[in-house]
């Protein structure tokens, strides 16, 4: 189960700004896309058809945040290192509280 609120809060902490996550069920041909909006907002689009499990959501979010933080569209060794670091951070946020009676919703919260 994806803990949406916790995941967005973690993304905003690592990005240092507001992050909006938009989910679509329309086939897009890509798993995720990063858009930098005006006023420094960050918008990440995610294809629901390819994100069946929590790990899929975490991976794509980490992927797009690595591009944002390093200000590159490349998948260089530096980008790969940042991606792994962010994925571990986001996984840790998602795992925190599991099994401790935390209530979970079935949708975005």
Q: Each residue of 17-53: pLDDT tens digit?
A: 899 988 888 877 777 787 776 677 888 888 888 888 8
pLDDT for 19 equals 92
- Using left for φ > 0, alpha for ψ between -120 and 50, and beta otherwise, residue 50 falls in alpha
3-state SS, residue 57: helix
In this prediction the pTM is 0.81
To the nearest 10 degrees (0 to 180), the angle between helices 54-70 and 4-15 is: 20
CATH of 4-95, one of 1.10.540.10, 3.30.2010.10, 3.40.50.2300, 3.40.50.720: 3.30.2010.10
Q: Domain coordinates of the chain in residue numbers?
A: 4-95
In order of 4, 52, 85, 104, the CA distances from 99 in angstroms are 17, 22, 24, 11
Q: Each residue of 44-103: pLDDT tens digit?
A: 888 888 888 889 999 999 999 999 999 999 999 999 999 999 999 999 888 875 654 444
């Amino acid at each position: 189960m994806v803990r949406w609120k916790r995941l967005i809060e973690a993304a905003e902490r690592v990005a240092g700004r507001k992050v909006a996550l938009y989910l679509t069920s329309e086939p897009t041909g890509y798993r995720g896309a990063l858009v930098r909006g005006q006023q420094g907002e960050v918008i990440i689009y995610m294809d629901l058809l390819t994100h069946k499990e929590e790990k899929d959501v975490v991976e794509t979010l980490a992927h797009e945040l690595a591009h944002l933080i390093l200000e590159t569209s490349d998948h260089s060794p530096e980008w790969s290192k940042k991606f792994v670091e962010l994925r571990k951070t986001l996984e840790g946020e998602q795992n925190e509280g599991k099994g401790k009676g935390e209530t979970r919703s079935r949708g975005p919260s």
